[in-house]
Chains A and B, each alone.
Chain A
């Protein structure tokens, strides 16, 4: 199980930036499609709130990879 946790750690590290990229790409696309204030606020909120969470997810992955959750 410890080995699995460490391997998954790497996946979580990669998932964080991928999620941020996908979020920004979708947000930019939606704003370009409908450049009104509501769309900008919505996506601004999503991106602003989920980026720190994605960073937290990368840290979680890093700890996992380093064996901090080993038993």
Chain B
């Protein structure tokens, strides 16, 4: 039943992957712009509260994904894969575009964060329905001997979506004005909307391509024979025979895969920026380079899983993550640690500026100190406070911001470390679409595989940066304490996966 021509399957992969990539792009730009969005949509009185509110919104986007899996998975098993993941694309594109249009908190008050939250929830719902459809659709077109290879192209889309989102954000941030400082100020003011608005063009192109696609051949055959499921939710989760497989897929595969993914691609970046204090651009370009080098390995491991089975590649990825995370993150800290560098005192620069605040006589005082180190690292220390006209008024504690720009050796060392982490991601994530698709029968495949995938990735994985950051606020003395969460979850998952899951590839998907 699989497509016989290579050209045919390539078209299927291209059409499916493009739409899925755009959905991931749409989903990630929100997370990548969390701080800017916080300043636009949440009360500014407490920046931490504003950031947490955004992260909560971010988490809401992840938590709602399993519900999207249920809603659209059911639809996909009832009416077909093609129209369902077309619908998810429209919802995702519409919500993303709309976020770019919502007026800020200063214009419309609390309606602003409420609308943004609602749109974010819609994004989560749409994403919950998209992936299962795309993976199922490609798998049901693929020859059984190359299912891992072909579905692994779908697996690249999540990482490439992140890559595109980071790229668009950095480009927009740099090109709004010839002066970089002004460009960043414009970006924070209104330019952040551009990545959201751009999405609509990409979505229209993708919808056009998807409209031209044919329904999955296995689903068409199932429908012709009148054997489609009447109640996919009940058949998926109400019957022990299938429920036990859903639970095994979650606890033995997707749970660990989710935390490895989000630790490598999201917590690592957040750690580099917030704990190592590396500057905004570098912390993102480090991730971009690591993604560029690691992405081909999704296809390598996906293809390899056709030969050696899916299980042990995924288990090996989890195992390596568990035993090396501590070392890798410690290395990140060490590279950024100024104690390991020699200061070039003669190059030190100190700049002071005073900007009058209205007609109060007071002024905003900014002191920027640039310290240079032997390995090329530059540390910018910016202190802002108010210089009062009245001599009896004491200056409050200044706001201090430290930002490090690494020299080239340190920079590429960090790229290598993040590359290793993303390599683990490719091991656990490359084969998983084929693995999940082979676990469930055609008539309830979309529903059954979507839920464990999105609980594993959306809940366990998506909450990783949030829980890890939270742990660092509870156990403040240990900068690596955040890793406890992914390490415990991945360990549990690899034990279950190694003992319970079979390495046998199910060649016949038409059951």
Q: Are B499 and A60 in contact (CB-based, < 8 A)?
A: no
CB neighbours of B470 from chain A (8 A): 42
B233 to chain A, nearest CB (A): 15
Give Cα A28 to B63, complex, Å.
Answer: 21
Q: Are B455 and A69 in contact (CB-based, < 8 A)?
A: no
**Interface code A47-64, partner B: CB below 8 Å = 1, 0 otherwise?**
001100100110110011
CB neighbours of A10 from chain B (8 A): none
Q: Are A8 and B499 in contact (CB-based, < 8 A)?
A: yes
Interface status of B213 (Cβ within 8 A of chain A): no
CB neighbours of B243 from chain A (8 A): 59
Q: Are A5 and B500 in contact (CB-based, < 8 A)?
A: yes
Measured CB to CB, the nearest residue on chain A to B52 is A38
Measured CB to CB, the nearest residue on chain A to B51 is A38
Q: How many A-B residue pairs have CB under 8 A?
A: 48
Interface status of A41 (Cβ within 8 A of chain B): yes
Measured CB to CB, the nearest residue on chain B to A8 is B499
A31 to chain B, nearest CB (A): 12
Query: Which residue, of B60, B244, B466, has the highest number of chain A Cβ atoms within 10 A?
Result: B244
Q: Are B240 and A68 in contact (CB-based, < 8 A)?
A: yes
Partner of B56 from the list A42, A53, A59 (CB cut-off 8 Å) is A42
Q: A60 and B247 in contact (CB under 8 A), knowing A1-B499, A68-B240, A69-B500?
A: yes
Measured CB to CB, the nearest residue on chain B to A15 is B492
Q: A5 and B499 in contact (CB under 8 A), knowing A42-B470, A49-B63, A56-B247?
A: yes
Q: A64 and B500 in contact (CB under 8 A), knowing A56-B247, A59-B247?
A: yes
Q: A45 and B56 in contact (CB under 8 A), knowing A56-B247, A57-B251, A63-B244?
A: yes
Q: Are A4 and B248 in contact (CB-based, < 8 A)?
A: no
Measured CB to CB, the nearest residue on chain A to B48 is A38
**Interface code B34-69, partner A: CB below 8 Å = 1, 0 otherwise?**
000000000000000100110010011001000000
Interface status of B203 (Cβ within 8 A of chain A): no
| 12 A–B contacts, CB within 8 A, in A order | A5-B500, A42-B470, A45-B56, A46-B467, A49-B63, A49-B459, A56-B247, A56-B250, A60-B244, A63-B247, A64-B500, A69-B248
A-B residue pairs, 7 tightest by C-beta: A60-B247, A63-B244, A38-B52, A68-B244, A69-B500, A60-B251, A49-B63
